[in-house]
Amino acid sequence: MKTFYLTLTMIALLLLSTNAAQAQTTQPKLNQVELMKQFTGTWETIAGKDTTGFAEMKPYGTGFECSWKYITKGKITSEGKQLYGYDKKIDKFIYVNMEKGKDIQIWAMWFTSNNKFIDIPYSYVANTDNAIFKFEGEIKSPDAWSETAFNNGKQAQTDNYTRVKK
């Protein structure tokens, strides 16, 4: 009798695990390089009273180079350069941000869906939940995207970017 119940229990467990395995779906791998190409071009954001930000993103190999600046009342208040490179081992873009007059920063960026992305300091790549500072972004259209900054889990600000037509 014990053998019968043991066999019945084993069959039930196998059936349950088969159903659970069938319910799982695998997400197709996102092509990070192709998705990143959406940022190619010149972008503008209103970053506060009397302040406008500009960024120009150009392809460079499997990465990108970016120049950016913020202008307040006709004067450049901050500017910098970024160099993005795709790391296929971790399936993310790694980039360096060099703002004039400040220390270098290393970041990681990747798409979590076709229109949403995350941007965090590189030191948190292995544990994104513990990132003190991060950005969450969304591509709204071919000519618009937004990026929300979070500091210690609290929303700090949202910037909306529009493509500058040349």
> What domains sit in the chain, N to C, each tagged with a CATH number?
32-163 (2.40.128.20)
In angstroms, the CA 109 to CA 119 distance is 4
pLDDT at 2: 52
pLDDT at 20: 44
The pLDDT score that the predictor gives to residue 127 is 85
Q: Which parts of the chain sit beneath pLDDT 50? A: 1, 3-10, 12-24
Residue 55: predicted pLDDT: 96
CA distance 68 to 99: 9
For position 106, what pLDDT does the model report?
97
DSSP letters for 11-62:
HHHHHHHHHHHHH--PPPPP-HHHHHGGG-EEEEEE-STTEEEEEEEEEETT
